[in-house]
Amino acid sequence: MTTRKSKFNIFLIIISGLFIGLAFPPFDLFFLIFPGFAVLIYNIFHAEKLAEVFIRTYIILLSAMLISISWLPLSGLRENADKFLIVGGLLTIILYPVTYMIPVFSFYFIKNQIRKLFPENIIIPLLIFPPVWIGFEYLMTLTEVSFPWLTVGNAFTTQIDKIQFIDITGVFGISAWCLYISVFLCLLYISAKKQSGFNFRNIVFALIIILLYISPDFYTTLTGSKSKYSADYNKDTVKIGILQPNINPWKKWGGKQGDLVKDYLNSLNELSFRNPKPDLIIMPETAMPFYFLHPSYDDRFQLFKKLVDSSGVPVLIGTPDLETYTNPEDVRIDSKEFSDGKKYDVFNSSILLQKNSTRENIQKYDKIKLVIGSERMPYQEKLNFLQNLIKWSVGISSYQTGNDTVIFKTESGLNFNGVICYESIYPEFFANFIKKGAEFCVVITNDGWWGKLQGTYQHNQFAVLRAIENRRWIARCANTGISGVFDPYGNKYDQTEINEKALFVSKVGQRNELTYYTLHGDYIGKITMGIWLGFLIS
């Protein structure tokens, strides 16, 4: 009997992990995350030893990640891909669940201390789980080893009727809403095990679950968000030309760059003179697989400048940028060095090329949030041996971090950001651009590494959250897809297919109102982290 029960418990643990994984895009079975976390909470709560906590939690989270982020190692199996992705991806899936032992062990410890004070009360300790978990989620957005891809709230990007309230709370508000539903599901199960049927406590827990679940709908209805779902341009519309070139990211570095430049020029020429004529054209991250602003590539720079000067349409371009330092005070601790002793750094940049631009006065933003390992090793300025630990053959390793956020300004008066790829998963970081004056947003990315794996769909969906949080239109340009436009209520327009070339003009609106979330950022993350650390210290 014990063996049969043990096997059932293991089966239930694995199933709960699969439920959590299937809640994320592209599966979008969001409702499964509620019982998935309820089982996780129950197993932590009833574990008698720390070893049990570790084993149960690890199995659940490993199962979840095998579903939700299996694209990490699988992307290494694609044509021409670096096989290190297989190793790095597998290590991430194996080790990432271990990081969550920080909030899990914290909750287990806090729960035990509370139960010593209130032995018969299970409600108070269980209510502590959400702030502990969310506090850790927030912490994961602050460090250089962060990977906030699986923030609980990220599972609800298709449920735009439910998540309109994040213009006040941000994505951590969704996490809190979801986890408290899971807590009360857990309480209902514990209560029902003790006394089944329609007893008062069971009814109360069931009613709380129902009220929690429908509460976001009240906000959506009362604020009229649902009736504003389309064509809310607010100010004059901006026509955005989007170029999705569909270039194999593994082949373009060091390949036939002359042909690539010609293809880009032809595409830009076609877009620039379309009717209606775009006000801005955007190209994807590292569209130029060379140092576009470096004097040695001046002939190519002049070709694009000539086109922009003749059309009058500004172009936002993703490119690596090599900066050689002339002022010793600008040199970083981990800056690289040429054979002649000069110091330099390479940045993953977005630049705005407009009429009369020169290499010297061009507006440029250098990516700040860099991907761990593939773009930069964490804390390499303090741990120098890490800097050259991983070398890629595709021009993306060991980037330097940018200094500050930048708002691009066109001569016609457009104000927008140029967020690059991975940065779009950091909610408060993204909101800082809007606080600084972005009236609409631009995300440029590659995503060609993943093809049609889950990562491509997940990354695209995260723009839904950023649009609603800040009530801003977002134009997204990806190398191989998915490109498109998002309105301030999370609706998607002109979404492209993956692995296709696409040239199109879409419309976005300009807005200058600031949401409560934009102004105050991740205050829920800060509060919950304070609660978590406060309980630990006390």
pLDDT per 10-residue tile (average), the chain, 538 residues: 61 95 95 98 94 96 97 86 84 95 97 91 95 96 90 97 97 99 97 82 96 96 71 75 93 79 96 94 96 95 96 97 92 88 94 93 96 80 62 62 96 96 96 98 94 95 98 97 96 96 96 97 98 91
- Contact between residue 166 and residue 160 where contact means Cβ atoms under 8 Å apart: no
- Residue 486's alpha-carbon distances to 318, 400, 495, in angstroms, are 20, 30, 9
Alpha helices in 118-170 (DSSP H): 123-127, 129-139, 166-169
pLDDT for the residue 10: 85
Q: How many other C-beta atoms lie within 10 A of the C-beta of residue 204?
A: 14
Token output for 5 = 């029960």
CB 36 within 8 A of CB 64: yes
Q: For residues 144 and 85, what is the distance between their CA atoms, to the nearest angstrom?
A: 20
The sign of the CA dihedral 7, 12, 15, 17 is: negative
Please report the pLDDT score of residue 85 as a whole number.
Answer: 84
Calculate the alpha carbon distances from 527 to 131, 135, 153, 173, 489 in Å: 8, 8, 17, 12, 26
List of residues 6+ apart from 359 with CB closer than 8 A = 293, 295, 298, 301
pLDDT digits (tens, 9 = 90+) for 239-267: 999 999 999 887 777 667 888 999 999 99
- How many Å apart are CA 189 and CA 18, to the nearest integer? 20
pLDDT tens per residue, range 428-439: 999 999 999 999
Run of H or E including 366? strand 363-366
Helix/strand/coil for 361: coil
Q: Which residues contact 46 (CB under 8 A, 6 or more apart)?
A: none
DSSP 252-296: STTS-HHHHHHHHHHHHHHHHT-SSPPSEEE--TT-SSS-TTSGG
Q: Are strands 502-509 and 492-493 parallel, antiparallel or unpaired?
A: unpaired
- How far apart, in Å, are the Cα atoms of 19 and each of 14, 28, 41? 9, 11, 14
Beta strands in 203-269, from DSSP E residues, in sequence order: 237-244
Distance (Å) of CA 120 to CA 127, 129, 176: 15, 18, 25
Measure the CA–CA gap between 526 and 138, rounded to whole angstroms: 7
- Number of DSSP helices (H) and strands (E) in the chain, helices first: 17, 14
**What is the distance between the alpha carbons of residues 108 and 405, in angstroms, rounded to a whole number?**
39
Question: Prior bond to 276 cis, omega within 30?
Answer: yes
How many angstroms separate the CA atoms of 51 and 101, rounded? 11
Asked whether the beta carbons of 392 and 367 are under 8 A apart, the reply is no
What is the distance between the alpha carbons of residues 465 and 425, in angstroms, rounded to a whole number?
A: 9
pLDDT of residue 1: 44
| Torsions phi, psi for 315 (to 5 deg) | -130, 125
Q: Residues 314-325: pLDDT tens digits?
A: 999 999 999 999
DSSP-based three-state secondary structure for 403: coil
Rg (CA), the chain: 25
Question: Rounded CA gap, 346 and 358, in Å?
Answer: 20
Q: Give the span between the Cα atoms of 265 and 290, in whole angstroms.
A: 16
Burial environment of residue 39 by CB neighbours within 10 A (0 to 12, 13 to 18, 19 or more): buried
Residue 42 tokens, joined: 């129950």
pLDDT of residue 187: 97
> Are residues 315 and 287 in contact, defined by beta-carbon separation less than 8 angstroms?
no
Distances (CA, A) of 459 to 265, 339, 426, 443: 28, 40, 12, 11
How far is residue 202's CA from residue 200's CA, in Å, rounded to a whole number?
A: 6
What gap in Å lies between CA 419 and CA 285, rounded to an integer?
Answer: 9
**442: which strand partners?**
475
Phi and psi at 294, nearest 5°, equal -75, 140
Mean pLDDT of the chain: 91
Q: Are 298 and 490 in contact (CB under 8 A)?
A: no
Q: Are 479 and 245 in contact (CB under 8 A)?
A: yes
pLDDT at 394: 47
In the 3-class helix/strand/coil scheme, how is 42-62 assigned residue by residue?
Answer: HHHHHCCCHHHHHHHHHHHHH
Determine how β-strand 237-244 pairs with β-strand 280-282.
Answer: parallel
